[in-house]
């Protein structure tokens, strides 16, 4: 018996293996984005393949000191930082429940050490809704580079290489 969709016919015995391959492909993409729970990665044997890929492709960062990332403690602190016209601030908008945010945090901390004159913040969108809405944060993580009241750039996503390129372009070393 054949299953025909349009001009393509597939034997019924091939449908299950094709569905399994499609499921495993989708799971590997979710694992790469940090959206697949660890226990499912272990069951599907995706852990080693994903971590090898991430480590191999991780951008190199020239460290110039210790990490300077700090969580925002108050709206007054934020207002004080952005009022300084010569102070550049990199804001990472995040949430405690956001897995991609947690995944990119160590890389974000390493990046902060490459720009010692810049303030690197993490801002919880659930706690500081007014600030996140001011910068039109619609997804997490979102990175906003601010100098004074001017937004120098915005990047939304958790791709390490793209974040590094974004900061290299927006921040003067």
What residues contact residue 85 under an 8 Å CB cut-off, 6+ apart? 147, 148
Report the alpha-carbon distance of residue 91 to residue 81 in Å, rounded. 11
Report the alpha-carbon distance of residue 99 to residue 156 in Å, rounded. 14
101 is catalytic: yes
Catalytically annotated residue among 4, 9, 91, 101 = 101
Task: At 82, list the tokens.
Answer: 């952005």
Report the alpha-carbon distance of residue 133 to residue 125 in Å, rounded. 9
Catalytically annotated residue among 4, 9, 91, 98 = 98
Residue 99, φ and ψ in degrees, nearest 5: -65, -45
Residue 79, φ and ψ in degrees, nearest 5: -60, -40
CA dihedral of residues 128, 90, 156, 140 (deg, nearest 10): -30
Catalytic residues, by residue number, are 98, 101
């Amino acid at each position: 018996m054949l299953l025909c969709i349009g001009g393509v016919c597939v034997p019924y015995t091939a449908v299950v293996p094709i569905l399994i391959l499609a499921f495993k492909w989708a799971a590997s993409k979710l694992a790469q984005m940090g959206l697949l729970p660890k226990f499912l990665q272990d069951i599907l044997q995706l852990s080693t393949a994903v971590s090898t890929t991430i480590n191999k492709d991780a951008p190199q960062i020239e460290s110039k000191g210790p990490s300077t990332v700090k969580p925002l403690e108050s709206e007054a602190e934020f207002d004080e930082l952005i009022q300084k016209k010569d102070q550049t601030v990199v804001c990472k908008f995040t949430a405690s429940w956001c897995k991609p945010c947690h995944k990119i945090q160590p890389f974000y901390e390493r990046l902060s050490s490459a720009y010692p004159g810049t303030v690197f913040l993490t801002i919880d969108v659930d706690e500081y809704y007014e600030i996140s809405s001011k910068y039109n944060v619609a997804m997490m993580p979102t990175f906003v580079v601010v100098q004074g009241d001017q937004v120098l750039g915005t990047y939304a996503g958790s791709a390490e290489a793209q974040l590094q390129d974004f900061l290299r372009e927006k921040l003067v070393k």
